[in-house]
Chains A and B, each alone.
Chain A
Amino acid sequence: MALPLEIPPRARSAMSTSKASPMYNLRSSIASTGSTTSLTSLFAGTGASLPRDIVDDIKSVIHHAFVPHIAVHVSDDVDEVVREKGLPDFYQLIRPYGEKVQGRITARDSQGSSVPFEDFAVRFVRLSDVAQKPEQKGNTGGTTFRNGEYGGTNAGIPEAINSEELPLADELLDLHLSHAEELIDTNLATETESHTGQAYYLLYLRKILSGFPVTPHETWAHPVACLIAISSRNTTPIDTLRQLYKSGSEVNIPGYVNKDYLRYYVLVHDEDKDDIVKSAALFEQMKRHFGLHCHLIRLRSVMCIVSDEDSVPVAKSQWLPASEELAELHAHQEEDIESDTSSRFIHGSDEAAIKTMVREMVAQSVIPFMERNIASWNDQILSRRKGIGGRVLSFSRRFLGSTGTRSASNSATASNFDSATNSYDPITPEAQMRKLADWSFMLRDWKLAYDVYNTIRTDFNNDKAWLHVAGAQEMTLISLLLTGQPITPKIRADTIDVYLDAACYSYVTRFRAIYAALRCLLVTVELLRLAGGSSAELAAKWAIKALDLNIRPTVSRALISQRVGDCYAVRQGAGSGGWGGRRRKAAMWHALAAETWIRLGKFAQARHCIDVAMPKYANTEFVLIRRFLDQMKLDSGHVNLLDLKIDTAVGETGGEVVEVEDANGEESQEEDDDEVEKPKFDGKRRSILIPQTPNGDAPGVMTVHESPGADGPL
């Protein structure tokens, strides 16, 4: 027992190679103590509550990724009230509550029938976050990228689209996994599906999908509405609101973001210090000035501690971008557990008030606003575009454009596309159609979204707006898959394959937008996988493509390889023979994933993958496969030393014949103590353990069949 445990778990998880020593007998010796709840509470502050129902979960992750963004713009006195409660600011306070809007939200689709959603969500962002990044980029992008072959195509694209978030997501997952590894090593958690299975993949997916960058080619991160708030402490409330409205409009938002978003005015009433009568009067005044999109929220300004009777912990945001979550985790490590930021509490009444506010805002203002806009855009632009007149118009425009401007240096002048900033002005029909499609997608009207994406794709194509084309292709596919219409082989070959290929090419080769490409691939892969059957095989194919996007053996690579295996595993064959299944491929990819996990030092994950892969290879007569798997089992601390015995006992020069008396593995530990060399795992062991083939041939030249029953089981 002494050996593997001498390395403290923390140090062990810090090692990134397979040199870290695994635990023998892990699986058999663990009493099933840890429960998910204890794990999550131990690992509080990470926002990683591990999901249960996986199939529903994938869809809900995707649903919740593409949600309306609501900018938050508040006066200083509001933040002051919230700070007195012990939270950083108003935005941090309300953000988690946008992720699950209370109750049922109903939206009308394009047919006019209303569709209820149980789990509608919105995402709150700081108004300044929408503005800042593109502004920095605007200085550099316009000039530096002009000289290349793709003159100006990179201009105006914020850096965030170029994969800066990806290494962070990797790092974060690495932290999470190391932590799980520690818990398992110290027997605090059992190796259940929730710690090793696809839960981490889902977490990774969620991290990839949170924090969409503000880009010209899609409108997800463009605000649908802006929440403007003042508090009852303000002495000049109406003026401040006007001031906020003005400053909000003047914030340096990139030109391609439509500034005609909904303004929602909130009055924060300080329950403990101010008079509700006065606030109510002020609220009436607000309504008169600003119309109906107003809300009065009553918050207490005193700090809440655990012992208060109606205290509830501050909700955790599930959709923190990886960068923020990492920063938070690092902050945690330095702090003491006592002063932990994760153990903050607010009054139950506050929570209820915030939930009501979010619900009212979404149900009564944001959704009707979106519905109205969708309807009017649909009427004015899409129908016109689709009708005969629109076709003639666009044709003649194109015709005239190509002949009339041939002499001009910029052939794009005839179109609305501005190639200098790589964007469309928000008032152009193209930009509005994209917005129409995105918004109807947010309201989960997949059919309308699909139609519109399909239509604008050709428009973008005519303008050679490649980034927009790629974005439209991506969303065409996603909305097509979400409509749930059956995926015929024709659709697979003519639509999915073609569009994915083109979109990835545009993202990667033209724009180096690895993030966008990865997001496109992963979402499509998930949806294809859910479709099952042959689509699952296509999913695997594209997941392999996603592997090509980054070569380094990082956590994401291991996760995606494992996912490839999962995709293949979905395809079950027909009949008892499983004809047409992909079980061998699934097994191979799981084995490969295990190898990557071992290289990363994540042995629990590796053991899980080996477990999944093993049944297919249990009796394989491929010598090298078998040896490879045995090696991995050793490296990962998979207990089945019994299997090893069979293999090494055959090889005469195998040397290390491990004789295990008891399958429980309890006793085998003492044995290991005698053969001290082995568990040190210095990587040299390989040569000792691999059995020579009996005739001394290099294996592979002639197959050697140890088991005499090779022809037996006919």
Chain B
Amino acid sequence: MAGSSTSYYFVIIGTKDNPLYEAEFGSFKQGGDGIPKFREEQRHMNQFIAHSSLDCIEDQQWASKEMYLKTVDKFNNTWVSCFLTGGNIKFLLVHDTRSDEPIRQFFADVYDLYCKTLMNPFYEVNMAIRSQTFDQKIKAAAKKYL
């Protein structure tokens, strides 16, 4: 769907099914340039897929003792991986190749970043994250692992 290199859609979803932060990026592996190659009609599908996978997450979040739920859903050739925080905030990654381990490391970094954000006295749970620094750090983490 995204040509030779894979693309990722990352979203943090709050407790009210509201997106807190969204990002698209491409793979840096195998000579990728990190630029997402989603076609125009795929971009809203990413949001649909992420949103609808919440149904599956609600099923699976009780079954696993891990916070990283691995791939939770599949739509055609697209997988959805999920990481659940203690406050029921979901990190979702929509991707078209399966690779559990790098995604786990990526999520671990994102979790750290998210915790730091939570420490901000001006930030409340379920608020959209607009910080440029956060954005840059997420992109850096993506570059490192994905």
**Residues on A close to B: CB < 8 A?**
568, 573, 579-585, 587-588, 591-592, 620-625, 627-628, 700-703, 705, 710-711, 713-714
Given A700-B24, A701-B22, A705-B128, output 6 extra A-B contacts at Cβ < 8 Å. Answer: A568-B55, A579-B58, A582-B55, A583-B55, A587-B52, A624-B47
Closest residue of A by beta carbon distance from B22: A703
User: In the complex, are the beta carbons of B128 and A710 less than 8 A apart?
Assistant: yes
The segment from B13-21, B97-105, B107-115 found at the interface with A is B13-21
Closest residue of B by beta carbon distance from A628: B44
User: In the complex, are the beta carbons of A588 and B126 less than 8 A apart?
Assistant: no
Complex CA gap A711/B124 in Å reads 8
Within 8 A of A (CB), among B10-33: 16-24
Given the complex, which residues of B lie within 8 Å of A628, measured CB to CB? 44
Is B1 on the interface with A (CB-CB < 8 A)? Answer: no
Given the complex, which residues of A lie within 8 Å of B135, measured CB to CB? 702
Given the complex, which residues of B lie within 8 Å of A588, measured CB to CB? 48-49, 51-52
Complex CA gap A700/B128 in Å reads 13
Q: Which of A585, A592, A701, A714 contacts B55 (CB 8 A)?
A: A585
User: In the complex, are the beta carbons of B52 and A585 less than 8 A apart?
Assistant: yes
Chain B's nearest CB lies how many Å from the CB of A697?
10
A701-B24, A703-B21, A713-B16 are known contacts. Are A622 and B47 too (CB-CB below 8 A)? Answer: yes
Given the complex, which residues of B lie within 8 Å of A710, measured CB to CB? 18, 126-128
User: In the complex, are the beta carbons of B51 and A620 less than 8 A apart?
Assistant: yes
Chain A's nearest CB lies how many Å from the CB of B134?
10
26 pairs, CB–CB < 8 Å, chain A vs chain B: A579-B59, A585-B55, A588-B48, A588-B49, A592-B48, A620-B17, A620-B18, A622-B51, A623-B47, A624-B43, A624-B47, A625-B44, A625-B48, A700-B9, A700-B43, A701-B24, A702-B21, A705-B128, A710-B127, A710-B128, A711-B125, A711-B126, A711-B128, A714-B16, A714-B125, A714-B126
Closest residue of B by beta carbon distance from A571: B55
Given the complex, which residues of A lie within 8 Å of B17, measured CB to CB? 584, 620
A624-B43, A624-B47, A701-B24 are known contacts. Are A584 and B128 too (CB-CB below 8 A)? Answer: no
Complex CA gap A400/B68 in Å reads 55
Q: Which of A627, A703, A714 contacts B44 (CB 8 A)?
A: A627
Complex CA gap A627/B24 in Å reads 18
Complex CA gap A580/B113 in Å reads 30
Complex CA gap A573/B48 in Å reads 20
Chain A's nearest CB lies how many Å from the CB of B8?
12
Annotate B113-138 by CB proximity to A: 1 below 8 A, 0 otherwise: 00000000000111110100001000
Is B54 on the interface with A (CB-CB < 8 A)? Answer: yes
Chain A's nearest CB lies how many Å from the CB of B14?
8
Complex CA gap A624/B11 in Å reads 13
Complex CA gap A136/B48 in Å reads 49
User: In the complex, are the beta carbons of A584 and B54 less than 8 A apart?
Assistant: yes
Closest residue of B by beta carbon distance from A711: B127
Given the complex, which residues of A lie within 8 Å of B43, measured CB to CB? 624, 700
Given the complex, which residues of B lie within 8 Å of A580, measured CB to CB? 58-59
Given the complex, which residues of A lie within 8 Å of B127, measured CB to CB? 710-711
Closest residue of A by beta carbon distance from B23: A701
Chain A's nearest CB lies how many Å from the CB of B90?
13
Given the complex, which residues of A lie within 8 Å of B19, measured CB to CB? 621-622, 703
Given the complex, which residues of B lie within 8 Å of A591, measured CB to CB? 48
Complex CA gap A585/B16 in Å reads 16
Given the complex, which residues of B lie within 8 Å of A625, measured CB to CB? 44, 47-48, 51
User: In the complex, are the beta carbons of B55 and A584 less than 8 A apart?
Assistant: yes
Given the complex, which residues of B lie within 8 Å of A705, measured CB to CB? 128
Within 8 A of A (CB), among B29-49: 43-44, 46-49
Given the complex, which residues of B lie within 8 Å of A713, measured CB to CB? 16
Given the complex, which residues of B lie within 8 Å of A584, measured CB to CB? 17, 51-52, 54-55
With most chain B CB atoms within 10 A of its CB, the pick from A585, A591, A705 is A585
Complex CA gap A159/B94 in Å reads 42
Given the complex, which residues of B lie within 8 Å of A587, measured CB to CB? 52
Chain A's nearest CB lies how many Å from the CB of B93?
14
Given the complex, which residues of A lie within 8 Å of B9, measured CB to CB? 700
